[in-house]
């Protein structure tokens, strides 16, 4: 295919959802153009920044081996892989979203997950086991837990590289530095896309459009308007390009706003991390997730959460938001030498920023905080630590008494130098605001009827995630709704070309 001015399917965005959509439409025989707002070097959206963890339903190790054929019999014999059924996946979505996820969309995601990941494999995406984050070793066996045993080879970078390679191989056209700015319709049907290409405006004729260009997490003004004023200050963990363009274009055509527009996923991240994701440093390298082994203090020297309320999987998304509420949106995780060797690998990266000193007094001298209050809080915490058996691999119940907030598990006095303070702030992952789609990925209008020729996938789909999401479901949702959108758009174009009413 050469660059042309008319396409069957124009896909807006070039992350995981968009590229899956492009592949599905192209394999159905349609001409496809992918528009990427970023340069070639900054392609791939948030998907590029991921650790590649991807959540799907499976029966047993044999299902996993279909995706990872290089897994030898010998290696497989050492693996304990409990079933993760579609019901388990559905229940996890409902549990973390407080039951708010739209059942039809959640069911589509879980029911199509295995078939879709197998399809990705067929298109050259490679997978591997996520031993380090999702398994533990006991008596020579690796026990996988949590329903998330697989990640893409070479994390998000590997995923995006593989999808682009396949799209190019199949003859999908890809235009970089090409920002979609407006959608046009004729007789109520999508007819063209207006593109700002390196400051030149171009109109491309399109029989259908798939919007897969993220939510509005990288748009300060929209964050402030929809999530809250404080959110202007959040660090953007991924791409700078997801500024709500697709949502704005879809709403202008009468799409129904859907999902939790006032919500987003966020975490505690290095205070000195880049303000938006740095494409030269992908991977989830700035998070700071060992706080259950520490206490966190704000600038006023006050604690503000129960750091040991639960394992980090269950608290990190909530605590990102709590950090944002603190003065100057900063907190300090304090560790002593007893726990320093136990900290997660991100604490040992060159990118990790921290203060270190031999005594707490010297440490506090280095911090821009209320020094007296800071030392008093640490002393009060140390006094409140109860005796008990300390074990960071289980909820050990080793807690504090008589302080607010309490520390419910893993409470050790902070007393052995050297001491460390890791400054953290809030990093937004993605916002939950989207548009309403059906299980064919058609964008619906205010009357819940399809807007002819308009489809959406990925972060743009509202109503699946509220408050939180089960890790690894962002990529899976993008793949499932992306593939669905590509297939549906291809079918729509075929019917349109043959004048069959849709």
458 is a site residue for ligand FAD (CB under 6 A): yes
Q: Which helix (H) or strand (E) holds 456?
A: strand 450-456
Closest distance to ligand FAD from the beta carbon of 59 (Å): 21
Nearer residue to ligand FAD within complex by CB, 68 or 363: 68
* Shorter beta-carbon distance to ligand FAD: residue 385 or 464: 464
Contact status, residue 25 vs residue 32, Cβ threshold 8 Å: yes
Of 51-70, binders to ligand FAD (CB under 6 A) are: 51-54
Q: Which is nearer to ligand FAD, 217 or 336 (CB)?
A: 217
Nearest residue (CB) to ligand FAD, 22 versus 61: 22
- Complex with ligand FAD: residue 261 or 410, whichever CB lies closer: 261
Tokens coding 249: 């274009």
Q: How many Å apart are CA 104 and CA 86, to the nearest integer?
A: 13
| Minimum CB distance to ligand FAD, residue 132 (Å) | 13
- Please select the residue that binds ligand FAD; options are 27, 36, 336, 442, rule is CB under 6 A: 36
Structure tokens belonging to residue 374: 């800071």
With binding defined as CB under 6 A, does residue 50 bind ligand FAD? yes
Q: Is the C-alpha dihedral spanning 182, 183, 186, 188 positive or negative?
A: negative
What's the CA gap between 326 and 1, in Å, rounded? 54
- Asked if 331 and 366 touch (Cβ cutoff 8 Å), the reply is no
Shortest CB 174 distance to ligand FAD, Å: 11
Bridge-based pairing state of the strands 32-35 and 6-12: parallel
The torsion of the CA quartet 291, 295, 299, 301, rounded to 10 degrees, works out to: 170
- In the chain, the N- to C-terminal Cα span, in Å, equals 27
Q: Of the two residues 36 and 336, which places its CB atom closer to ligand FAD in the complex?
A: 36
Q: What is the DSSP letter of 326?
A: S
346 binds ligand FAD (CB under 6 A): no
Handedness of CA 14, 19, 25, 26 (dihedral sign): positive
Q: By C-beta, is 214 or 486 nearer to ligand FAD?
A: 214
| Number of C-beta neighbours around residue 353 at 10 A | 14
Shortest Å distance, C-beta 275 to ligand FAD: 13
By CB under 6 A, which span of 33-41, 368-376, 403-411, 485-493 interacts with ligand FAD?
33-41
Contact between 180 and 39 under an 8 Å Cβ cutoff? The reply is no
Helix (H) or strand (E) holding 151: strand 150-152
The contact mask relative to ligand FAD for 131-170 (x = CB under 6 A, - = no) is: ----------------------------------------
| CA-angle at 150, arms to 149 and 151, nearest 5° | 135
Could you tell me if 150 and 67 are in contact, meaning their C-beta atoms sit under 8 angstroms apart?
yes
Cβ atoms of 445 and 11 closer than 8 Å: no
Binding ligand FAD by CB under 6 A: which of 158, 214, 463, 486? Answer: 214
Closest CA relative to residue 307, chosen from 357, 233, 381: 381
Strand 79-80 to 141-144 pairing: parallel
CA-based diameter of the chain, in Å?
78
Which residue from 410, 430, 432, 492 is in contact with ligand FAD, where contact means CB under 6 A? 430
> In whole angstroms, how close is the CB of 270 to ligand FAD at the nearest point?
12
Q: Is 498 helix (H, G, I), strand (E, B) or coil?
A: coil
Pick 53 or 369: Cβ nearer ligand FAD? 53
* Stretch in the footprint of ligand FAD (CB under 6 A) among 10-18, 136-144, 163-171, 372-380: 10-18
Choice from 9, 10, 15, 301 touching ligand FAD (CB under 6 A): 15
Closest distance to ligand FAD from the beta carbon of 134 (Å):
11
Site for ligand FAD in 222-281 (CB under 6 A): 237-239, 241-242, 245
The footprint of ligand FAD on residues 459-488 (CB under 6 A) is 459, 472-475, 478
Determine the angle formed by the axes of helices 155-170 and 16-27, rounding to 10 degrees: 30
Element (H, E) at 178: strand 178-186
Binding ligand FAD (rule: CB under 6 A), the pick from 33, 35, 110, 157 is 35
Token digits of residue 283: 């991977």
Could you say whether residue 211 binds ligand FAD (CB under 6 A)?
A: no
**116 touches ligand FAD (CB under 6 A):** no
For 183, the 3-state DSSP assignment is strand
Residue of 7, 8, 9, 16 that binds ligand FAD (CB under 6 A): 16
Span near ligand FAD by CB under 6 A; candidates 39-47, 81-89, 136-144, 197-205: 39-47
Report in angstroms how near the CB of residue 38 gets to ligand FAD at its nearest: 5
Binding residues for ligand FAD restricted to 381-410, rule: CB under 6 A? none
Question: Closest separation between CB of residue 34 and ligand FAD, Å?
Answer: 9
User: What does residue 253 show for φ and ψ, rounded to 5 degrees?
Assistant: -95, 5
Size of the site for ligand FAD (CB under 6 A): 42
Do strands 450-456 and 442-444 pair parallel, antiparallel, or not at all (unpaired)?
Answer: antiparallel
Stretch that binds ligand FAD, among 29-37, 79-87, 131-139, 377-385 (CB under 6 A): 29-37
Q: Which two tokens stand for residue 48?
A: 């590029």
Which residues of this protein are in contact with ligand FAD, per CB under 6 A? Answer: 12-18, 35-38, 44-47, 49-54, 179-180, 212-214, 237-239, 241-242, 245, 284, 429-430, 458-459, 472-475, 478
């Amino acid at each position: 295919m050469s660059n042309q001015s008319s396409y069957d399917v124009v896909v807006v965005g070039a992350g995981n959802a968009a590229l899956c959509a492009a592949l599905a439409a192209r394999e159905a025989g349609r001409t496809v153009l992918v528009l990427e707002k970023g340069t070639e070097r900054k392609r791939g959206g948030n998907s590029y920044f991921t650790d590649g963890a991807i959540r799907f339903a499976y029966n047993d190790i044999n299902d996993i081996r279909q995706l990872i054929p290089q897994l030898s019999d010998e290696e497989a014999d050492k693996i304990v892989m409990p079933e993760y059924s579609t019901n388990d996946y559905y229940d996890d979505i409902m549990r973390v979203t407080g039951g708010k996820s739209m059942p039809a969309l959640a069911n589509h995601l879980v029911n199509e997950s295995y078939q879709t990941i197998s399809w990705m494999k067929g298109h050259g995406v490679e997978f591997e086991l996520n031993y380090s984050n999702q398994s533990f070793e006991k008596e020579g066996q690796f026990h996988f837990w949590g329903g998330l045993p697989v990640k893409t080879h070479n994390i998000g970078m590997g995923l995006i590289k593989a999808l682009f390679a396949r799209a190019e191989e199949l003859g999908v056209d890809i235009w970089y530095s090409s920002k979609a700015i407006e959608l046009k319709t004729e007789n109520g049907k999508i007819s063209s896309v207006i593109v700002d290409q390196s400051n030149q405006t171009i109109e491309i004729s399109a029989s259908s459009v798939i919007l897969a260009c993220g939510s509005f997490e990288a748009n300060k003004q929209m964050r402030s308007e929809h999530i809250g004023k404080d959110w202007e200050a959040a660090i953007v963990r991924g791409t700078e390009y997801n500024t709500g363009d697709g949502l704005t274009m879809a709403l202008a055509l009468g799409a129904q706003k859907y999902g939790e527009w006032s919500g987003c996923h966020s975490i505690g991240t290095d205070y000195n991390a880049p303000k938006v994701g740095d494409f030269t440093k992908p991977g989830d390298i700035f998070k700071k997730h060992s706080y259950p082994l520490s206490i966190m203090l704000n600038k006023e020297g006050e604690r503000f959460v129960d750091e040991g309320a639960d394992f980090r999987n269950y608290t990190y998304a909530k605590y990102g938001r709590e950090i944002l509420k603190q003065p100057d949106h900063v907190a300090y995780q304090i560790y002593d030498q007893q726990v320093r060797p136990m900290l997660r690998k991100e604490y040992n990266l060159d990118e990790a920023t921290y203060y270190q000193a031999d005594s707490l007094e010297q440490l506090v001298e280095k911090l821009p905080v209320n020094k007296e209050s800071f030392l008093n809080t640490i002393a009060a915490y140390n006094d409140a630590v109860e005796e008990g058996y300390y074990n960071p691999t289980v909820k050990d119940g080793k807690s504090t008494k008589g302080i607010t907030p309490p520390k419910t598990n893993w409470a050790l006095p902070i007393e052995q130098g050297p001491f460390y303070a890791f400054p953290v702030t809030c990093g937004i992952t993605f916002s939950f605001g989207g548009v309403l789609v059906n299980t064919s990925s058609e964008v619906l209008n205010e009357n819940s009827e399809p807007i002819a020729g308009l489809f959406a996938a990925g972060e743009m789909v509202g109503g699946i995630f509220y408050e939180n999401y089960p890790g690894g479901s962002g990529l899976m949702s993008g793949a499932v709704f992306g593939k669905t959108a590509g297939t549906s758009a291809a079918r729509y174009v075929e019917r349109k070309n043959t004048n069959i009413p849709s």
